[in-house]
A = this chain, B = another copy of it.
């Protein structure tokens, strides 16, 4: 039995057979540095998938901060902690003025759970509107709202799902303005449908980059109108920045900055501590104060001293290494390169994304149908070629790329070169 088979057997025994695992031939990674990860045999892989180590695997500044604080003190937020306050102040300062206070959590799931609790508290309503190909977490309520993969629980009676416009499939000759209006109408219908059932609208919950929807290009005006409709109905806008936050899209620290809408609540997570478990919810201070009067909320690990140290170190690196501009610059280089590949490979129907968050949409050249099988094959062949990425989208036919923000032009060229080879080999 090979070592991989043996690991797989042990894994199935102790974690169960269905714990998700990447690739037909799983990887046994043992080391990481910058944009590189290494398997047990010493083989290097270019990491174009993992956004959690956003400033690079094992960045020395973050490693040092985590090690130092772990050796100094690691307690919860029921004592005063100057480091936590400084971090929270710095983080909230990156938002519009109305988003001036934060509650920390351990995970994006906990952040979205808390956001829903808060939204329902401030509105006194129950209804939730989400996209029809979305995922916001693994708790009972969030699992029930999940539509981009099976989650067991039935979709809740208090929720409605709307389709987010994807220009590639949905334009049908329409202008952006028409497209925005047609799909915003679905949001109005969701509001009407909830109200007809006697359910008031508490929140619209959208990923600011629609990552699970396949990273569709933005339709100007759509999110703006959707939020307006929900607010008119008394609901609030929860913007999920768990994937798209911290400079990922290259435009700004937060994906929602491009829409011109200031959310009522923003949730964040994954890259926040470069791998240290920390997440949070930013909103209006007066809402947090009011919520705290009726709900005693405490979260043991959330905002502990090491989480604050890791989070601050991540902000340091993003600033010092100018990772926003790197994200923008290298992202543009990747996108141009992918567009060039599209002219050579008819399977590529389109290139999506901004900054270091991009997708390649694949269709069968014969009938332009989504090429899900081919996309899966490409993901596996890229892995065999030493490049790690994944797939997403309504039809599972969008290559998903989200490398650490220290991704360079050289890294990009390697990605493009391997992808060219793989596409040629199909």
Name A's B-contacting residues (CB within 8 A).
4, 7-8, 10-11, 13-22, 26-32, 37, 40, 50, 52-53, 57-58, 60, 62-63, 66-67, 70-82, 85, 88-89, 92, 100-103, 106-110, 113-114, 116-117, 121, 138-141, 143, 149-153, 269-270, 274-278, 285, 288-289, 291-302, 304, 306-307
Query: Given A19-B292, A101-B15, A306 and B275 touching (CB < 8 A)?
Result: yes
Across-interface contacts of A78 in B (CB, < 8 A): 20-22
Bound-state Cα–Cα, A216 to B226, Å: 53
**Beta-carbon nearest neighbor of A92 in chain B:** B14
**Shortest Cβ distance from residue A47 to the other chain B in the assembled complex, whole angstroms:** 9
Across-interface contacts of A306 in B (CB, < 8 A): 275-276
**Beta-carbon nearest neighbor of A93 in chain B:** B14
**Shortest Cβ distance from residue A46 to the other chain B in the assembled complex, whole angstroms:** 15
**Shortest Cβ distance from residue A125 to the other chain B in the assembled complex, whole angstroms:** 14
Decide if the interface of chain A is mainly helix, strand, loop or mixed. mixed
Across-interface contacts of A13 in B (CB, < 8 A): 100-101, 285
Bound-state Cα–Cα, A341 to B380, Å: 68
Query: Can you list 20 A-B pairs with a CB-CB distance of less than 8 A?
Result: A7-B80, A10-B89, A11-B80, A11-B85, A15-B88, A22-B78, A26-B79, A26-B80, A63-B70, A66-B67, A70-B275, A107-B300, A109-B299, A113-B138, A113-B140, A117-B143, A117-B153, A138-B299, A141-B141, A151-B295
Across-interface contacts of A10 in B (CB, < 8 A): 85, 89
**Beta-carbon nearest neighbor of A141 in chain B:** B140
CB <8 Å contact, A82 and B28: yes
CB <8 Å contact, B152 and A74: no
Bound-state Cα–Cα, A290 to B318, Å: 42
CB <8 Å contact, A101 and B14: yes
Bound-state Cα–Cα, A116 to B72, Å: 36
**Beta-carbon nearest neighbor of A65 in chain B:** B70
